[in-house]
Structure 1
């Protein structure tokens, strides 16, 4: 009886073990089937690599400076008698802007001119008498010296009187007036600024390595924050013949027209020096590039090939696509595109969205990328 019970229990245990083993084997089989089943294609967006005529540029930042710009200031002290300009007024060269009180200098000039007249008469009379030896040579020399001295005094007073008047040294736009009629001004006081806005200089610095690539007359494109999206054209007009010791940079100056007076001296600028001889380059959207410490790469949408070299097709008869990761060498970036100098050919399709879901060799399906439609088209030759 005991033996029979033991056999029954042993049979039950055996059945349980077999059942568990079968369930486990079935689970493993299902997992194997699941992993061996082809993964669904990953939806990505692609864009073609394009060939463009690409003009290389040297980027820089700088500041604007007027062709002529000064602070109008006084050389002598005095009280403002008249003001003949308004803030923001355009003035002509030679136009009187300010007159200081000059009554004392005018009176002194009158006295000096009277003395000069008398000295001139005495000298003229002495010139006639010296010929007949009516006066000595010493007296003649004294009369000549008195005449020259009075003449110099008149010239000195005229110069001092001229300093009481400020005139515009060139055509330009005057700034905000800082004085009023009746103000007593010390010498050196600035009354306003005067700027010639018909043209502007833009001064900027480039690394010494760029010196062989720049030359007088090269085109420059300038942009400022006040007018986003608008560029102003200029030309390199001067290159400093000395490299700065501290920064190892060379100062460069470009000249640009300012017909609408949009640009003002002191503005911060972003600029690009256009290099000659544009070249045809392969470019792709910036979003296609993955930047890592190990190198830059992108995914190319390639057709999957069978062992015999033929293109595999899906149920709809379309070629199957896989993601092929390529390491590339990049060049200049501009306007949302990047130059690919090595590793990619024109017309190849590159993945522009969905790279994070990809591995090398993954099946992909192309879906439209709306972000690419919103981006501006890459520029052609400048």
Structure 2
């Protein structure tokens, strides 16, 4: 019988021993041979020599602008509406039938001009009645005083006569006041609104006849964010624009600032005054307001696109000795693509306006031509 052939493992074992010896020799050599005799691939990373003639990164091409000094006008914008500086509803204080009415609706009237007249027949009669009673009690008071002087009267009769005389005089004053109220006059000079009643109509107290408005000057009511409070003052100039007169501006000034803020909107109400001598502007017009809160001389200004945001901070890349330097800045006013730099940059410094995404601090840069 043939026995199975046993495969020899001797060659495999010898090969494994050779690999182990070779590896040991390499590591021994790395630790004991001089560095100059050891291949660079086997040197520790800390001992590897730099590659001679390694290529340097080329400069990054960017576009830039210089920080310039400018005079900035501090402006805020808002929207609002025009209101009359004074406005009232002309109405009677007493009842009566209207017998005449002014034809100046839509026109100007002066203070004291008669706007409407009520029938005075009843009120004249009341005046006459009250006057008659006053005369009677005046005579009674005189007789009571005479009798008292002669010793025939009593103090009580004198007091009663004096009291009745006072009541009669008060009734006469009331009747005369009612008679005067039948004549309805303008409380101030202004512009009358449209007539709302007709001659012959019976009016009750408080019923509207006209509206009367003073429209020179006009008030401009608007609101601004609370951040503008620091620069607003009474007398601060404003200008208004309205679609009713495109291309025209009307000037005025701030008249008053509400001491209380709107807690929900975090805004403050402001009232300005606009001259309107020609009467072209009308109450109720929707307007845009420009607030001129002063000027800033020699402000450091750069293009707005130079800003780089990192979280809640703002930076710019300045170019110094052809290298990019990242500088934190504090911004101020922003106007038409420009921004004021309050802190962190000086006039004349060059800042990158395009290409920041390719930069890192210390990178070599070259300025491209637009």
Q: Deviations over 1:152-171 (max 9, x none)?
A: 11111122222322110001
Cα drift, residue 269 of structure 1: 2.0
Secondary structure at the aligned position of 2:251 is classed as strand
Q: CA separation of 1:346/1:72 partners in 2, compared to 1, >3 Å: closer, same or farther?
A: farther
Residue equivalent to 1:6? none
Residue equivalent to 1:26? none
Residue equivalent to 2:39? none
- Equivalent-residue separation in structure 2 for 1:190 and 1:346 (angstroms): 68
The yes-or-no answer on 1:58 pairing with 2:76 is: yes
Residue equivalent to 1:82? 100
- Equivalent-residue separation in structure 1 for 2:194 and 2:352 (angstroms): 57
Residue equivalent to 2:46? none
Cα drift, residue 297 of structure 1: 11
Decide whether the 8 Å contact of 1:331 with 1:338 is kept in 2: no
Cα drift, residue 76 of structure 1: 2.6
Residue equivalent to 2:244? 226
Aligned partner of 1:151 among 151, 154, 169:
169
The structure that has the greater radius of gyration is 2
Secondary structure at the aligned position of 1:276 is classed as strand
Aligned partner of 2:284 among 266, 269, 272:
266
The yes-or-no answer on 1:161 pairing with 2:165 is: no
Decide whether the 8 Å contact of 2:72 with 2:295 is kept in 1: no
Q: CA separation of 1:344/1:157 partners in 2, compared to 1, >3 Å: closer, same or farther?
A: same
- Equivalent-residue separation in structure 2 for 1:231 and 1:130 (angstroms): 80
Decide whether the 8 Å contact of 2:241 with 2:289 is kept in 1: yes
The yes-or-no answer on 1:72 pairing with 2:93 is: no
Residue equivalent to 1:9? none
- Equivalent-residue separation in structure 2 for 1:193 and 1:62 (angstroms): 22
- Equivalent-residue separation in structure 1 for 2:70 and 2:247 (angstroms): 22
- Equivalent-residue separation in structure 2 for 1:338 and 1:251 (angstroms): 29
Cα drift, residue 220 of structure 1: 1.9
Residue equivalent to 1:119? 137
Secondary structure at the aligned position of 2:162 is classed as helix
- Equivalent-residue separation in structure 2 for 1:214 and 1:205 (angstroms): 12
For residues 210-359 of structure 1, the aligned pairs below 5 Å read 210-281=228-299, 332-334=333-335, 336=336, 338-341=338-341
Q: Which runs of 5+ in 2 are unaligned?
A: 1-63, 360-364
TM-score between both structures, scaled by the size of structure 1 = 0.64
Residue equivalent to 2:24? none
Aligned partner of 1:189 among 207, 214, 220:
207
Q: CA separation of 1:293/1:222 partners in 2, compared to 1, >3 Å: closer, same or farther?
A: farther
Residue equivalent to 1:202? 220
Q: CA separation of 1:363/1:136 partners in 2, compared to 1, >3 Å: closer, same or farther?
A: closer
Cα drift, residue 181 of structure 1: 0.7
Decide whether the 8 Å contact of 1:71 with 1:191 is kept in 2: yes
Cα drift, residue 343 of structure 1: 7.9
TM-score between both structures, scaled by the size of structure 2 = 0.66
Cα drift, residue 345 of structure 1: 6.6
Secondary structure at the aligned position of 1:162 is classed as helix
Secondary structure at the aligned position of 2:209 is classed as strand
Q: CA separation of 1:212/1:140 partners in 2, compared to 1, >3 Å: closer, same or farther?
A: same
Decide whether the 8 Å contact of 2:79 with 2:286 is kept in 1: yes
Residue equivalent to 2:154? 136
- Equivalent-residue separation in structure 1 for 2:307 and 2:249 (angstroms): 31
Decide whether the 8 Å contact of 1:328 with 1:344 is kept in 2: no
Cα drift, residue 347 of structure 1: 11
